[in-house]
Amino acid sequence: MQIKDRLIVALDVTEREKALELVEMLHDCCGMFKIGLEPFCIFGPTFVEEIQDRGGKVFLDLKFHDIPRTVAQAGRAAARLGVEMFNVHIAGGSEMMKAVVEAVREETAGKKQAKILGVTVLTSLGADELTRDLGIDRSPLEQVIFWAQEAKECGLSGVVASPREISAIREHCGRDFLIVTPGIRPAGFESGDQKRISTPGDAVRSGVDYIVVGRPILQAQDPRQAALDIVREMEEAIR
CATH number at residue 51: 3.20.20.70
Q: Which of 4, 5, 57, 66 is catalytic?
A: 66
Please state the residue numbers annotated as binding site for substrate: 12, 34, 61-70, 123, 185, 194, 214-215
- The mean pLDDT of 137-141, rounded to a whole number, is 91
pTM of the model: 0.91
First to last CA, the chain: 15
- The mean pLDDT of 8-34, rounded to a whole number, is 95
In the predicted structure, residue 196 carries a pLDDT above the cut 60 = no
Distance CA 32, CA 60 (A): 10
Count, in order, helices (H) and strands (E) of the chain: 11, 8
Q: Please write down the long-range contacts of 50-54, taking CB distance under 8 Å and 24 or more positions apart.
A: 50/20, 50/23, 51/11, 51/20, 51/23, 52/82, 54/20, 54/23, 54/24, 54/27
137 as an active site residue: the answer is no
Please state the residue numbers annotated as binding site: 12, 34, 61-70, 123, 185, 194, 214-215
Domain count along the chain: 1
**Domain housing 170:** 3-237
Q: Residue 164: which pLDDT band, with cuts at 50, 70 and 90?
A: confident
Backbone angles phi, psi at 97, to 5 degrees: -65, -45
61 as an active site residue: the answer is yes
DSSP annotation of 113: P
CA 136 to chain centre: 23
Q: Residue 190: which pLDDT band, with cuts at 50, 70 and 90?
A: low
63 as an active site residue: the answer is yes
Query: Which H or E run includes 239?
Result: none
- Give per-residue pLDDT as tens, 49-60: 999 999 999 999
96 Cβ neighbours under 8 A, 6+ residues apart: 65, 66, 67, 68, 71, 88
- Count of C-beta atoms within a 10 Å radius of residue 219: 10
